[in-house]
Amino acid sequence: MLKRWQSWIPTGGGLRDEYWARRHRLLTVLLAACVVGLTIFGTFQQALTASWVTVLLVLPCVVLAARLRSRRPASIAVALGFVIACAGFVTMSDGLTEAHFSFFVVVAALALYRDWAPFGVFLIATTLHHAVFGTLWHSHTYDHNGDPLLWAALHGVAVLLAAFFQAIAWALTEDEERRAQENLDDREAQLSVAFDETPVPMVMLSPDGVLLRTNSAYRHWLHLPDDLPAGFHIDDLPVTLVDHTLSGLFDNLASSGSVVATRLYRHNDTGELIWAEIHSTSLYDREGRLRLMFLNCLDVTESRRQQDELHRQVRHDSLTGLLSRSAFEDDLEALLDADTEGVAVLYVDVDRFKSINDGSGHSAGDSVLKAISARLLTIVPEGSLIARFGGDEFVVAVPGGSGAGAFVGEAALAAFSEPLAVDDSLLTVSLSIGLALAAGADQGEDAVLAADTAMYAAKRSGGNRMKIFSEQMRVSVHERIAAEKLLREALAGDRPTTLPVWFQPIVRAGSGEIVGAEALVRMRAADGSIIGPGHFVPTAEETGMIVQLGEHVLIMALRHLMEWRDDIDYISVNVSPRQLAEPDFVPLLADLLAANPELDPKRLVLEITETALLGSSVDVRERLETIKRLGVRIALDDFGTGYSSLTWLQNVPADVVKLDRSFVAGLSSDARKSSIIQAVLWLATSLGMSAVAEGVEEEADHHALHAAGCELIQGYLFGKPMPPAEFAERIQRSRMATTP
């Protein structure tokens, strides 16, 4: 039972030193204020004697409360001072009942100490005051008559009851604090388990960089002892940053709270480099001041090693170990930035390497490439770049201008005059080298292209030599690059606008009536000017963009065929060798025709040059037969310019023969040309073909062709290629002119 009652009684004395000091300072100041207040009150009440006596008794208590360092003596001095102050106030008030309320106020105030010593002293002293003073000086203690002991008992019990409820509140507060502490202890234990047992290195730091707490993973990671000395600072860690200081890193984390990837250097026997990602979380107080930092350190050394290895593989050729193309281009830009004299670029190609691969196999070819790489590395000076661009092509960048590059090129030719040791055998290898100079950071790509062009010039000259890129070569390269750029932009834009398709009329020789047209593509420049096909079609052929370009022309031709279905018989479209060789060309043509079911396929004529037939790698006859099965007609363009034109007339399933302008020009004054034209026309007719004469510019040639029996003609005499709107007007004028 006693223990049960004890559980209800507050234990007291549980305040932390700083909290107790703050409360004691407050109560001491209040007690000192009471001295001033009692002096003023005694003056107004004309009770100076009682006032001065009270003040003289309270002042020592104030001094003791301020000077004593021990808790209990200081707090007891405050309690006694308040008893004297309250008693003096009651005396100066002639025992006024309301003056006794001061005792109840002080009971609540002294409960702030949460200590039984001052609290009990005050209660005992108050009870004695009420009993002794109430008996001896009744009139100055109670303002009513009656037994003083009764009033002393009543007042004492009231004070004790007030103290009792203060004690209950005090006990309840302690109980809540105890439960809160238990919860805090549980959370601290959970945090300790989570913090100390996690395998991730963790550390808590004070704002000045002192390590407040570390877990075992952190200590193991940095080879720290389990018991760190007090005040162990971040600068005392056995690691240093490669590029920064640890304090600088700490300041950065404190200011930004960001994730910082940094490389640490560990001071141990191995000198191992370690990479760590440091995740920081900062804790601030209500005023926004940093209280502590929590760092979560992830060792990403292995991940960085894998990234470095991947980066190395991306930057280097897997076979030879030389730089890759992309790495070379990046490093060349940096080299050009650093070198003011310019950088010489050498494009190196192995002569007749294909025969090595075909004759000895690809494994032998790989061995040759490795041996070539090794020999080139012995020639190229330090500070240069050397890369394998693929196949048997190597590119070298040498700082120091064209003179240094020429020296390296000649040295390479001389070095490879000696046989190359490959797989226990000697192999003679020669090189073709192109040399170009790059003088600015933006010229690297142009220099590589120029050196490539010069290398091909060396190869065309027989190989085993070096050619230096000339300004004339540069002009052609820049023109090709500019044309390629313009063509790519045009194909990527609104093609009907950027690549307009114009039409040249094909007319009847006798009446001049327009019966057909040839679709011819143009390019519209940014300033609106029109660029002829000679400036971009060769580039389209070389780069393969001719496939997209040809598809666009075909689509536009079919669109206008539908528009002019009642005005002309057909439109012819040129098909390049690259298009014809594309496996998707015939399916594309079939899809376009299927999308226009109202169009008669024979109104579309595909013009194919004789040179395209000679250079094609596919079975031309089979592909042309497939096209004809779609209903599309075939025209043999530029007839007579090849070596076996008559053979093609027999072997190719053509419907139309287009006589080249070289046979047409000057026909009226050249009897031999007239005989040839008549023979071709007779042969075409006997094979069931029609004929169109191209390049007619003179009226006399027009009449000669008509007299020879050529039914259809085309040329500037009857109209240059023109935009669709102008061509439509021309058709209408032609119909009006030929209508009876």
**DSSP assignment of 164-181:** HHHHHHHHHHHHHHHHHH
- Specify whether 394 is located in the same domain as 498: no
Question: Any long-range contacts for 265-271 (C-beta under 8 Å, 24+ apart)?
Answer: 265/239, 265/240, 265/241, 266/222, 266/223, 266/238, 266/239, 267/238, 267/239, 267/240, 268/223, 268/238
State the pLDDT at residue 270.
61
pLDDT digits (tens, 9 = 90+) for 93-143: 777 767 777 777 777 777 777 777 787 787 787 777 776 776 666 666 666
Q: Which amino acid makes up residue 659?
A: L
Q: What single string gives the DSSP state of each residue in 546-615?
A: HHHHHHHHHHHHHHHHHHTTTT-SEEEEE--HHHHH-TTHHHHHHHHHHT-TTS-GGGEEEEEEHHHHHH
Q: Which one of 415, 440, 469 terminates a domain?
A: 469
- Specify whether 500 is located in the same domain as 593: yes
What's the rounded mean pLDDT across residues 568-577?
92
pLDDT digits (tens, 9 = 90+) for 477-518: 677 778 889 999 999 999 999 999 999 999 999 888 999 999
Token duo for residue 551? 């598809």
Q: What single string gives the DSSP state of each residue in 191-247?
A: HHHHHHH-SS-EEEE-TTSBEEEE-HHHHHHTT--SSPPTT-BGGGSSEEESSS-HH
pLDDT digits (tens, 9 = 90+) for 596-613: 999 999 999 999 876 556
How many separate domains does the chain show?
4
Let me know if residue 598 belongs to a domain: yes
Range from 16-30, 478-492, 515-529 that averages highest in pLDDT: 515-529
Let me know if residue 188 belongs to a domain: no
DSSP annotation of 436 reads E
Q: Is the model's pLDDT at 631 over the cut of 90?
A: yes
Instruction: Please state the φ and ψ torsions of residue 75, each to the nearest 5 degrees.
Output: -70, -35
- Specify whether 522 is located in the same domain as 377: no
- Specify whether 462 is located in the same domain as 599: no
CA contacts within 13 A on the Cβ side of 128: 9
pLDDT band, very low/low/confident/very high, at 145 (cuts 50, 70, 90):
low
Domain hosting 409: range is 323-469
Let me know if residue 440 belongs to a domain: yes
Q: Is the model's pLDDT at 434 over the cut of 70?
A: yes
pLDDT band, very low/low/confident/very high, at 715 (cuts 50, 70, 90):
very high
- Specify whether 674 is located in the same domain as 592: yes
CA contacts within 13 A on the Cβ side of 171: 12
Let me know if residue 270 belongs to a domain: yes
- Specify whether 399 is located in the same domain as 253: no
Let me know if residue 608 belongs to a domain: yes
The residue with tokens 């560990």 is 266
State the pLDDT at residue 406.
92
Map residue 268 onto helix, strand or coil.
Answer: coil
- Specify whether 7 is located in the same domain as 150: yes
State how far the Cα of 28 lies from the Cα of 89, in Å rounded to an integer: 18
- Which residues make beta-bridge pairs with 397? 345, 385
Let me know if residue 476 belongs to a domain: no
Let me know if residue 310 belongs to a domain: no
Q: Is the model's pLDDT at 630 over the cut of 80?
A: yes
Let me know if residue 416 belongs to a domain: yes
- Specify whether 114 is located in the same domain as 167: yes
- Specify whether 368 is located in the same domain as 280: no
Q: Is the model's pLDDT at 10 over the cut of 50?
A: yes
pLDDT band, very low/low/confident/very high, at 574 (cuts 50, 70, 90):
very high
Question: Which of these ranges, 251-255, 508-512, 681-685, has the smallest mean pLDDT?
Answer: 251-255
- Specify whether 335 is located in the same domain as 294: no
Element (H, E) at 438: strand 431-438
The angle formed by the CA atoms of residues 534, 535 and 541, to the nearest 5 degrees, is 75
- Specify whether 461 is located in the same domain as 487: no
Where residue 24 falls (left for φ over 0; alpha for ψ -120 to 50; beta otherwise) is: alpha
State how far the Cα of 715 lies from the Cα of 667, in Å rounded to an integer: 14
Q: Which one of 435, 469, 503 terminates a domain?
A: 469
Q: Which one of 117, 144, 176 terminates a domain?
A: 176
State how far the Cα of 468 lies from the Cα of 448, in Å rounded to an integer: 12
- Cβ-contact 104, 159 below 8 angstroms: yes
- Cβ-contact 314, 326 below 8 angstroms: yes
The residue with tokens 């201008």 is 401
State the pLDDT at residue 411.
93
Instruction: Please state the φ and ψ torsions of residue 341, each to the nearest 5 degrees.
Output: -80, -10
**Residue ranges of E strands in 610-740:** 633-639, 656-659, 690-693, 712-713
Question: Sign of torsion, CA 27 32 38 44?
Answer: negative
Residue 267 belongs to domain with CATH number: 3.30.450.20
The overall average pLDDT reported for the chain is 81
Residue 590 belongs to domain with CATH number: 3.20.20.450
Burial class of residue 171 (count of CB atoms within 10 Å of its CB; 0-12, 13-18, 19+): middle
- Specify whether 161 is located in the same domain as 218: no
State how far the Cα of 699 lies from the Cα of 701, in Å rounded to an integer: 5
- Cβ-contact 151, 157 below 8 angstroms: no
